[in-house]
Amino acid sequence: MTAPLQNETPSISGSSLFQSRRQFLARNAMGIGGVALATMLQQENLLANEEIAPFVQQDKFDLTPKQPNLEPRAQSMISLFMHGGPSHMDLTDPKPMLTKFHDTEYKGDVSYSFINRASKKLKGSSFKFAPRGECGTELSELLPNLAEVIDDVCLIRSMHTDINGHEPSIWSMNTGKSQPGRPALGSWLTYGLGSESKNLPAYVVMTDPGGHPVDGVRNWSNGWMPPLFQGTVIRPKEPRIFNLNPPVHLQGEVQRQNMELLQKLNAKHLETHPGESDLEARIASYELAARMQDAASEALDLSQETKTTLEMYGIGEDATDEYGKRCLIARRLVERGVRFVQLFIAGQIWDNHSSIDSSLRSCCGKTDKPAAALIKDLKQRGLLDTTLVHWGGEIGRLPVTENHGDPSKAGRDHNGQGFSTWLAGGGIKGGMTFGETDEFGHKAVTDKVSPNDYHATLLKLFGLNHEKLSFRYNGLQQTLTDKRPCRVVEEIIA
């Protein structure tokens, strides 16, 4: 072996920088096998791709405002989730043929959830439909308040999950895939965009006094994202946040000193446990709780609202008081920079397997007036342009009768093949319908919209590309749309 030249700089290992090709490959590419592996991975498109890399840095997670990679139309969202499956052919999707052939045998194939109560007898709607607003969208008599704002609403009549069960359809609509354990929509939005408020949670959940919805806390779970991105629950009754303020003898200077000490201890503890996302999230929640003492109390105080506003939401009326208060609080929260607010219903009140005529009246009596008031209120305050409002459930209902016999006891079984939802504000075209179900309302047939289409469109409205907003988990870049074939529904964007 020849001695190195005098001006040759040795490598860190003491060997010459001038190496043979074989030496270079052996020392720097884990041998020729490593080069071959890299070549095969590239050919199979399995190497990291800059085009799908997330725009959010993942070395540190926080809720500071982040710049979207597209021009945003929406800044916040309020989701009025209607668990159970509202009956579209009785509310938003009139079917004259269903009425014409009422009580006759349905010729199509039907998938039942409850075969022991099943029937193939068609059930026409018991409720009258009429054109509403300047747009002329036909709505049921059960939705007189929605009729007043229908010119601001885009009614999608072709939603489908192709799954009849509640939970898998809820997961599809809320997390992008029909399996549990994934982050909810609110988690994705707060992960991608952060929060505009330093003193309120970015993602707020408002539950019903009657209890949690079907599937419970998984409806607002952060899944495999850091706990920082899970929903913060505000109680449905007063006090809406427990222990928001300290006892009188601990307020003022004593509290300030205690908080400073706690902050120092937390920071020191975190230094010894770097990268612990659970610990980081807990510390962040403590700090947020301290800042919320004044901000949350003010945001939740409805006594600041005018009598006219309270009446518009139905506050003070037996049927609408509770849901009206939550809708009004939702407006107050987004007004103060909260990114995502979601209202849930106890159980699944729209799951009308029996006595659908009376139970639908009750459901609409609770929700129709407050939901419409939310649209009116946001619009008159100049907030509707940047606030996206969603109303809808996870499935619809079948056109055939369940518990066929006594008409007063008749209901409808689950139907994930076609149902309705509506959107307003945040860059959505108002006064339009989109998509169609077949002549009996059984299946979506025209301009079908899947949960992934819905999510891709929502993200676009917030300035986010559904293919690029990703989170690395289990060695893979995960997305809300699960890399499934889907599209942004450009036709409904203003």
Question: Which of 260-296 are b and which e, b meaning 16 or more Cβ less than 10 Å from the residue's Cβ?
Answer: eeeeeebeeeeeeeeeeeebbbebbbeebbbebbebb
pLDDT at 13 over 50: no
117 and 264 both lie in a single domain: no
Instruction: Please check whether residue 353 is in contact with residue 90, taking contact to mean a CB–CB distance below 8 angstroms.
Output: no
Extract the tokens encoding 283: 């510390």
Distance CA 389, CA 153 (A): 9
Which pLDDT score, from 0 to 100, does residue 45 have? 42
**pLDDT digits 0-9 by tens, 358-401:** 999 999 999 999 999 999 999 999 999 999 999 999 999 999 99
In this prediction, residues 258-263 reach a mean pLDDT of: 67
In this prediction, residues 46-65 reach a mean pLDDT of: 57
Extract the tokens encoding 182: 């994934």
Distance CA 76, CA 54 (A): 21
231 and 367 both lie in a single domain: yes
205 and 141 both lie in a single domain: yes
Distance CA 269, CA 295 (A): 28
The number of C-alpha atoms within 13 Å of 362 and in the hemisphere containing its C-beta is 11
**Banded pLDDT at 148 (limits 50, 70, 90):** very high
211 and 268 both lie in a single domain: no
**Banded pLDDT at 459 (limits 50, 70, 90):** very high
Extract the tokens encoding 445: 């047939």
In this prediction, residues 143-150 reach a mean pLDDT of: 98
436 and 484 both lie in a single domain: yes
Query: Does some domain include residue 38?
Result: yes
Residue range of the domain that includes 234: 64-240+300-492
Residues above pLDDT 90, as percent of the chain: 68
Query: Does some domain include residue 53?
Result: no
pLDDT at 52 over 70: no
235 and 251 both lie in a single domain: no
In this prediction, residues 206-211 reach a mean pLDDT of: 94
Which pLDDT score, from 0 to 100, does residue 278 have? 64
Domain boundary among 220, 255, 290: 290
Please spell the DSSP secondary structure of 403-448, one letter per residue: S-SSGGG-B--EE-SSEEEEEESTTBPPSEEE-EE-TTSSSEEES-
Query: Does some domain include residue 383?
Result: yes
157 and 272 both lie in a single domain: no
> Where residue 376 sits, what CATH number does that domain have?
3.40.720.10
87 and 234 both lie in a single domain: yes
**Banded pLDDT at 213 (limits 50, 70, 90):** very high
Distance CA 234, CA 232 (A): 7
Query: Does some domain include residue 322?
Result: yes
369 and 234 both lie in a single domain: yes
Query: Does some domain include residue 295?
Result: no
Distance CA 477, CA 487 (A): 19
Which pLDDT score, from 0 to 100, does residue 247 have? 66
Which pLDDT score, from 0 to 100, does residue 259 have? 64
Cα separation values, 6 from 2, 9, 10, 13, 460, Å: 12, 8, 10, 17, 62
The more confidently predicted of residues 145 and 40 is 145
Query: For the chain, how many structural domains are there in total?
Result: 3
232 and 253 both lie in a single domain: no
Query: Does some domain include residue 55?
Result: no
Query: Does some domain include residue 480?
Result: yes
415 and 445 both lie in a single domain: yes
192 and 334 both lie in a single domain: yes
**Banded pLDDT at 114 (limits 50, 70, 90):** confident
**Banded pLDDT at 292 (limits 50, 70, 90):** low
pLDDT at 276 over 80: no
In this prediction, residues 341-345 reach a mean pLDDT of: 97
